[in-house]
Amino acid sequence: MSNVMKVKERKDRYKVTYMAGDDSGFDMMEGALLVLESLDLPIDWVRADLGWCMWEKSNKKFGEGDPRCNTVPPETIQSIKDTDATLMAAITSKSGVKGFKSAILQMRQIFDLYINIRPAKKLPGVGTPLANDPNIDIVMFRENTEDLYAAVEFHPLPEEMFDLHKGMDRFRGRDVAVSWRVFSKDGCERIVRAAFEYAKETGRKTVHCGNKANVIRETDGMMKRVFLEVAKEYEQYGIKAVEENADATAMWLIKNPQDYSVIVASNVFGDILSDEASQLTGGLGFAPSGNIGENAAIFEPSSGSVPKYAHQYRVNPSAMVMTAKMMLEYLGLDEAAAKIEKALGEVLVESKSGTLTYDVLRDFRGDPNWEKNAASTIEMASAIAAKIDPAFSGAKLEAAKAKVHKMCAWDADSLIGFMD
């Protein structure tokens, strides 16, 4: 099996798409790009845009209700195809907007990004809400394309569907909504294999599979069977497979997080369990993630776009910075990736004034004046960059700041997409 967790072709220089998303997404992308500037990477950046901002742009251009209106413009899809990897910041979703479809959900389907890898690792200087400071280093493999996310839904339910299964008898004559939970065997197999391969590659010794095969017999039953089958191939590497109920996983993650290393789960359970795991390791402000398939990889933090702070540079750049680190590993730039994590850890541990964003001061330093003492996204990013390269200061730093600020311009004229 080719290693899907790595770029297909190693190159001397890479082309990487960056997409700042919406609102505070621009701020976090600017911060992350500043940190990357300090590394002098062999990367040529290509801008693309997506999210609510493109939904608005397309509505303005084509008129409301036009089928061409979308959160993802064709130029963005093309750019993801044309480049070696994609770095994406947070986007804004709004419910109840007719025709609106989440940009990230679309891209997971378009590019068949079946792996959602979500590490939850405690960084130095970041607390956990758990007692006794357990060592937490978990990597979640969430299936990313099937399950209730297949988007096969009915409301109202067509009459003939009441005849499909006798279990529907009691719903006859009632107002019923149905969402299909679709699992495919190859879909289960490829995510399970990705998790075991990762464990093998990284020397991790257990893989847990959280499922509800005890109740949801067909879908989760399939996931469980495939998991146990594939697990046999990995026994020879000393990898232990543990299959358990997903609700138990949720409970044991709080009680004994140190017992977990790699977790594989279906889409919905993985969505929930990954947020839980991230909360054990500092919360979404620190949680990176990657959406990976055979032909594309989009790295995006798990956090939201915090619209209330848009363009105020208040959000923590850490999740975005750690997401960039994951992307560098994907590209085989491991040394640079390691420098990023080390530098971030040092900034967090040193906890110098003017280097930490409000959330860190409020949630992990107990600073009653967190609002007043907060560093900006760019100040925290500059501190991380200076740890990577102590010469990254003065005129050099200012030039880099100006460059990334321009790269992340958010005015309507700077947005790329729906050009013709």
Q: How far is the CB of 268 from ligand IPM (least distance, A)?
A: 8
Of 88 and 231, the one with the shorter C-beta distance to ligand IPM is 88
Partner from Mg ion, ligand IPM, none binding residue 75, C-beta < 5-8 Å depending on class: none
Q: Which stretch binds ligand IPM (CB under 6 A): 33-41, 100-108, 224-232, 372-380?
A: 100-108
Partner from ligand IPM, Mg ion, none binding residue 93, C-beta < 5-8 Å depending on class: ligand IPM
Partner from Mg ion, ligand IPM, none binding residue 291, C-beta < 5-8 Å depending on class: none
Q: How far is the CB of 85 from ligand IPM (least distance, A)?
A: 18
Contacts of 196 (CB under 8 A, 6+ apart): 207, 230, 231, 233, 234, 239, 241, 262
From residue 37 to residue 76, the character string flagging contacts with ligand IPM as x (rule: CB under 6 A) and all else as - is ----------------------------------------
Task: Give the residue at shortest CB distance from Mg ion.
Answer: 271
Catalog residues that contact Mg ion under the rule CB under 5 A.
271
Of 276 and 346, the one with the shorter C-beta distance to Mg ion is 276
- Residue 93 in the binding site for ligand IPM (CB under 6 A): yes
Of 327 and 385, the one with the shorter C-beta distance to ligand IPM is 327
Please, what is the end-to-end C-alpha distance for the chain in angstroms? 41
If phi > 0 it is left, if psi is from -120 to 50 it is alpha, else beta; for residue 173 that is left
* Cβ–Cβ < 8 Å for 126, 286: yes
Among 37, 84, 146, 271, binds ligand IPM (CB under 6 A): 271
* Cα distance between residue 83 and residue 282, in whole Å: 32
Partner from Mg ion, ligand IPM, none binding residue 348, C-beta < 5-8 Å depending on class: none
Partner from ligand IPM, Mg ion, none binding residue 245, C-beta < 5-8 Å depending on class: none
Of 55 and 234, the one with the shorter C-beta distance to ligand IPM is 55
Cα separations in angstroms, 30 against 75, 175, 338: 21, 48, 20
Of 49 and 271, the one with the shorter C-beta distance to Mg ion is 271
Of 41 and 272, the one with the shorter C-beta distance to Mg ion is 272
- Residue 266 in the binding site for ligand IPM (CB under 6 A): no
Report residue 345 as tokens.
């850890």
Q: Which stretch binds ligand IPM (CB under 6 A): 55-63, 99-107, 122-130, 377-385?
A: 99-107
Number of other residues whose CB lies within 10 A of the CB of residue 238: 11
Of 103 and 226, the one with the shorter C-beta distance to ligand IPM is 103
* Cα distance between residue 88 and residue 301, in whole Å: 8
* Cα distance between residue 208 and residue 206, in whole Å: 6
Instruction: Give the SS3 label for residue 209.
Output: strand
Strand order in the sheet with 290-292: 43-48, 14-19, 85-88, 297-299, 290-292, 115-121, 137-143, 262-265, 206-211, 240-245
Of 38 and 291, the one with the shorter C-beta distance to ligand IPM is 291
Which residues in 294-313 contact ligand IPM (CB under 6 A)? 302
Among 6, 56, 100, 105, binds ligand IPM (CB under 6 A): 105
* Cα distance between residue 223 and residue 183, in whole Å: 8
Handedness of CA 119, 124, 128, 130 (dihedral sign): positive
Partner from Mg ion, ligand IPM, none binding residue 128, C-beta < 5-8 Å depending on class: none
Nearest to 382 by CA among 323, 333, 317: 317
Among 102, 109, 206, 279, binds ligand IPM (CB under 6 A): 102
Furthest CA-CA distance within the chain: 73
- Residue 279 in the binding site for ligand IPM (CB under 6 A): no
Partner from ligand IPM, Mg ion, none binding residue 102, C-beta < 5-8 Å depending on class: ligand IPM
* Cα distance between residue 139 and residue 120, in whole Å: 6
If phi > 0 it is left, if psi is from -120 to 50 it is alpha, else beta; for residue 207 that is beta
The amino acid at residue 278 is: S
Count of residues interacting with ligand IPM (CB under 6 A)? 6
Q: Supply φ then ψ for residue 113, to 5 degrees.
A: -85, 80
Of 22 and 30, the one with the shorter C-beta distance to Mg ion is 22
Q: How far is the CB of 320 from Mg ion (least distance, A)?
A: 16
Binding site for ligand IPM (CB under 6 A): 93, 102, 104-105, 271, 302
